[in-house]
Chain A
Amino acid sequence: MGSSQHYRFHKLSTVQPNSSTLETLQKLKKLQNLVQQSKVAAANIRQVIKALDKVAAQAGQPFLFSKCLEINERLVRNTLARCDDVKYRTFRAGQAKALLVYINGLTDTNKLETNVIDCLITAAHVSIITKPTEVITNILIGNCLLVIDGFSDVLVIDSAKYEKRQISKAENEDASKGPHDSFNETLSDNIALVRRRTKDSDLKVEILEIGARTKTSVALLYIDDLVKPGLVDEVRNQLLAIRIDMVILAANIEEFLTNQVWNPFPNVLATERPDKTVAGLYDGRLSIIIDNSPSVLILPVSLQDFMQSVDDYTTRPSVASLIRFSRYISAFLAIFLPALYICVVAYHPGMIPSGLSFFIAELRAKTPFPASIEALLMEALLEIFQEAIIRLPQKLSAAAGVVGALVIGTTVVEAALANALLVVVVATTGLASFCMPSYTFATALRVFRIPALVAAATLGLYGVAIFFVVMIVYLCSLHSYGESYLGDLFDITLLEDWKDGLLRFPAKFLKSRPKRLGTIDKTRKGDTSGKS
């Protein structure tokens, strides 16, 4: 388990007392470049070590086993470097030294005890600890302590028993044709769910401890030879720099991973689906699994990642493209539809046919409020109903939905508080926001609905145009680890990424990883027929 590192920061003037600001900045920039270069060099060295190990090996094999246990251990450790979930146990089996390697969570320890350890020696679950803090932590975890008279070292026996939820169906991200298993609250189970989907030795799992009091285990997953150089270090440093006493939700970590704390749009993708996590890892992203949380964080992400769902890849590309495009339209409607209603009704009635214009005027004549107030009132009602339905138990929420629909649909119109057309507009707006695959993203859209309404009520279509442009600028100015949040959507230097952006091209065209993520290996190996 990795321990938190403490950094000490000094003022630049303290470190460089005799330099001018410009000089110091130049030196700092040089240092940054050197650090970046060293990271690239480290990645290259790792590749060289791998290549060297391969020299004596057969074709397609990473290395060749020797008769010496130490050499064999080094080879396995090199291949599975930075995989904190891989456990190594050395023991003596008779006269010979032996090494046991297994993955925590993925290996059935009962089978291991019965089939292997009992035959040899019971040592798989025993470790020697010298540090008192680690001893105390192990007791609190539920492990057994064995203190023997005459020995200063303490034996810790892995005997912890957790009450945990079984792996069940994804509740918030259901897919019609995709796999149905989802993450639960146990870290080792969640890592195992990812590991089960890939036999890649380059999948690294670094386990860190965050939370001064809770000491929550947080796993950082990535594919070593894919991820953009420097990204892992940056995320790791951000995680290690978190100063908080408790981590009980994934959101506790999520908020520390952004510099724009007031930004309503999520800058990491939270998922409960292992397949989505693995797909993200092979795109060149990182995953963060937090113990006691079923939400796994994927980063870096941009707006278009929140518009994609697993079903896009289980349906035909043409259908998936149409659905995806309709999601973008829905996102637009979720923000701007009530605003456009205000524009047409209050400012530009001439833009719609005269007959309809008169009909709307007739409807509106029955209500006492101006169009903007009427729309705001309906928006407030919609928000209240949405919140009520989410908070209520599942059985009651359906009933509340019916009551809500009846109250909004009929009573409000009958009471002449709003006209029927506005009810249709607000209901469509609500439905449009429900189309979003990510709930956090949908809530962010809701935040912008009221300012859009105000802009429309103040300046009509001009106000909506202004607000639209402001939103585009705002979304482009957001960054997730160097990537623009919206700007990559139509970036002409990222034409290859367009194949899996606004539209979804057939799989045989998707030969490259997202260029925007700056992966080391840009092409996906193997062809679509499954041959590697």
Chain B
Amino acid sequence: MANLEAKDKMSPWQLGLVITSGLLTARLLPTTTLLIRDAQQFGWLSSALAGLLFYFAAYLMIRLGQQFPEETIGEYVPRLVGKTLGFFIFLIFITIPLLNIINCGITITSLYSTFLFDQTPRVILLITLLLTVIYCTLQNWGTILRVIQILIIALPMLYMFYSLIWINFDLLNLLPLWPDNFTGILQPIPYHTDYYPGYEALLVLLPLASRGKISFARAVGWGFLVVTFMYVLGIIVLVGSLTVKTGAMVSTPVIYAMKSVELPGTFIERLENYMITLFFPVTYISMVISYFVVAEGCRKYFKCKDHRTFIPIFLPLIFFVSIFVDNPERHAILIKFSMFLAMFFSFIIIPLLLFLAWRMKGRTQRCPTE
């Protein structure tokens, strides 16, 4: 067809949109309890600091990607650290989005089975969700990009819905205004891997973006800024309407806060159901991006023609791990493992790779004939 090929490329703004839409998922729902428990009234400050920190990690990834334009991490890592170590780093890299898919799948199906169903087995919900994710991932990037741009409409709708909890807001619940325990604010920052997941996709998506008037770092930065602002405001209103005590006790404070909203004189009741429904497309986007990143990363690493080859390969793994994690204890372990892996990758491996890339570039510049 005429110019479909060109549509597989995205603009820097689209890259920013993709990364932003991958950040907000249902994964944050259970983690909010931990955040309120540790940071108490200052969860918003913790989220703001985490936003800054994770943007820094994303910025490092953009800088690393810019050292190797038109290449994904799987292609240049073996050149930087050797084949074996390169393979391990690549393995860690693809494990992170895979864990994101698993975590998202578990959270969203648990939400549905807890709040919307009484008896439907979670396996049924999970397999339908995974098949839907696969259906989208089997498309070309141009199509996936367009799906994201449509489904992301659910995000402002979700936030508007969430804003209804302002009805129960009480400023007194936010007191004291000055924190006396700064460690408590810093302590939950690692948990924010559930608030800001999926930006690792940059390492695969950068070659698919064409350079424009705005830099990648700025486009992605705007995305982080918007999401961080949403989180900060969201946590302020959550604590303000629930109190720290309640927020730290319930398993999903956001849903609990939504449950307590009553709109007298309106037709709508049980607003949390609508909210969970809106969480579905938002989480779905993140799952699709992660799955595409895994498949595209593997395609480049193994030099295959089509990313579709790798999609069925990971399906059994995702499904069986998701089924194995069938209780809150196992899920908590999985969340912790995902957190450590993501932190290790973002703040240890990426700076190291960037350092090696700079060193290699410096050497090449000194000895251009070599």
Check B147 against A487 for contact (C-beta < 8 Å). yes
Is A477 within 8 A of B139, CB to CB? yes
A469 touches B281 (CB 8 A): yes
How many of B's residues come within 8 Å of A, CB to CB? Answer: 42
The answer to whether A459 touches B128 (Cβ under 8 A) is: yes
Is B314's CB within 8 Å of the partner chain A? no
Which 4 pairs, one residue from A and one from B, show the smallest C-beta to C-beta distance?
A487-B146, A482-B2, A482-B4, A482-B1
**Complex interface: stretch among B10-18, B46-54, B56-64:** B10-18
Among candidates A353, A460, A481, A491, residue contacting B1 with C-beta atoms closer than 8 Å: A481
**What residues of chain B lie closer than 8 Å to A466, measured between beta carbons?**
128-129, 132
A465-B2 in contact (CB<8A): no
* Interface pair B136/A473, CB less than 8 Å apart: yes
Residues 141-193 of B contacting A (Cβ, < 8 Å) = 142-143, 145-147, 149-153
**Cβ contacts A to B, 12 pairs, < 8 Å:** A234-B1, A351-B268, A351-B274, A356-B267, A472-B151, A476-B146, A481-B1, A481-B2, A482-B3, A487-B146, A490-B152, A493-B13
Bound: A490/B13 CA distance, A: 13
Q: Given A466-B128, A492-B14, A493-B14, does the pair A228, B143 have CB atoms closer than 8 Å?
A: no
* B143: contacting residue among A234, A470, A476, CB under 8 A: A476
Residue of B nearest to A231 (CB): B2
In the bound assembly, the distance between CA atoms of A477 and B3 in angstroms comes to: 15
- The listed residue with most A CB atoms (<10 A of its CB), out of B136, B143, B145, is B143
**Residue in A350, A487, A518 whose CB lies within 8 Å of B3:** A518
Is B135 a contact of A352 with CB atoms below 8 Å? Answer: no
Is A446 at the interface (CB under 8 A from chain B)? no
Instruction: State whether A473 touches B128 (Cβ < 8 A).
Output: no
Instruction: Flag if B147 contacts A473 (CB, 8 Å).
Output: yes
- Which B residues are CB-close (under 8 A) to A472? 147, 150-151
Interface of A is mostly: helix
Contact A473 B270 (CB under 8 A): no
Cβ-defined partner of B277 (8 Å) among A231, A465, A482, A486? A465
Collect the chain A residues with CB atoms within 8 Å of residue B11's CB: 492-493
Q: Using known A-B contacts A353-B269, A479-B4, A491-B149, determine if residue A462 contacts B13 with beta carbons closer than 8 Å.
A: no
Binary B-proximity of A444-466 (CB < 8 A = 1, otherwise 0):
00000000000000011111011
| A309 interface hit (Cβ, 8 Å) | no
Q: How many residues of chain A get a CB closer than 8 Å to chain B's CBs?
A: 39
Q: Are A476 and B2 in contact (CB under 8 A)?
A: no
**Chain B: interface secondary structure?**
helix
Contact residues in A for B284 (Cβ distance below 8 Å):
469
Cβ of A348 under 8 Å from chain B:
yes
Closest residue on chain B to residue A484 by CB atoms: B146
Chain A residues lying within 8 Å of B7, measured Cβ to Cβ, are: 482, 484
Establish whether residues A462 and B139, one from each chain, have CB atoms under 8 Å apart when the complex forms: no
In A354-394, which residues have CB < 8 Å from any B CB?
354, 356
**B112 at interface (Cβ–Cβ under 8 A)?**
yes
From B112, B142, B149, B268, contact of A492 by CB (8 A): B149
Which residues of B sit under 8 angstroms from A325, Cβ to Cβ? none
Task: Knowing A469-B284, A473-B135, say if A486 contacts B14 (CB, 8 Å).
Answer: no
- For residue B125, CB closer than 8 A to chain A, the reply is yes
Residues in chain A near residue B13, CB distance under 8 A: 492-493
In the complex, chain A residues whose CB is within 8 Å of the CB of B125: 459, 462
- Among A356, A476, A479, A481, which residue has its beta carbon within 8 angstroms of that of B150? A476
Residues of B within 8 A of A510 (CB): none
Of chain B, the residue at the smallest CB distance from A234 is B2
Cβ-based interface call for B120 (8 A): yes
Q: Tell me if A489 counts as interface (CB < 8 A to partner B).
A: yes
Known: A234-B2, A459-B128, A479-B1. A348 touches B116 (CB 8 A): yes
Cα–Cα, bound, A14→B270 (Å): 67
Q: Which residues of A contact B (CB under 8 A)?
A: 228, 230-231, 234, 347-348, 350-354, 356, 459-463, 465-466, 468-470, 472-473, 476-477, 479, 481-482, 484, 486-493, 518
Known: A459-B128, A492-B13. A228 touches B280 (CB 8 A): no
* B273 lies within 8 A of chain A by Cβ: yes
Minimum CB distance partner of A230 in chain B: B2
In the assembled complex, B117 has its CB within 8 A of some CB on chain A: yes
- Provide the bound-state CA to CA distance between A479 and B5, in Å: 12
B132 and A484 form a contact (CB under 8 A): no
- Cβ–Cβ contact B150 & A518, under 8 A: no
Which residues of chain A have C-beta atoms less than 8 A from B149's C-beta? 487, 490-492
- Cβ distance B160 to chain A, nearest Cβ, rounded Å: 17
In the bound complex, do residue A486 and residue B150 qualify as a contact, i.e. CB atoms below 8 Å apart? yes
B305 to chain A, nearest CB (A): 9
Which of chain A's residues has its CB closest to B113's CB? A462
Instruction: Given contact pairs A228-B3, A230-B3, A487-B149, enumerate 6 new A-B contacts (beta carbons under 8 Å).
Output: A234-B2, A350-B270, A350-B273, A459-B125, A466-B129, A484-B143
Chain B residue numbers with a CB within 8 Å of A477 are: 139, 143
Binary A-proximity of B273-291 (CB < 8 A = 1, otherwise 0)? 1100100110010000000
In the bound complex, do residue B135 and residue A470 qualify as a contact, i.e. CB atoms below 8 Å apart?
A: yes
Residues 6-34 of B at the A interface (beta carbon under 8 Å):
7, 10-11, 13-14, 17
With beta carbons under 8 angstroms apart, the residue of A228, A356, A462, A470 that contacts B2 is: A228
B3 with A476: CB separation less than 8 A: no
Query: Do the beta carbons of A484 and B277 come within 8 Å of each other?
Result: no
Cα(A351)–Cα(B268), bound, Å: 7
How far is B278's CA from A462's CA once the two chains are assembled, in angstroms? Answer: 11
B153 — nearest CB in chain A belongs to which residue?
A490
Determine the distance from Cα of A489 to Cα of B274 in the docked complex, in whole angstroms.
Answer: 24
Contacts A228-B2, A231-B2, A351-B273 given; does A462 touch B132 at CB 8 Å:
no
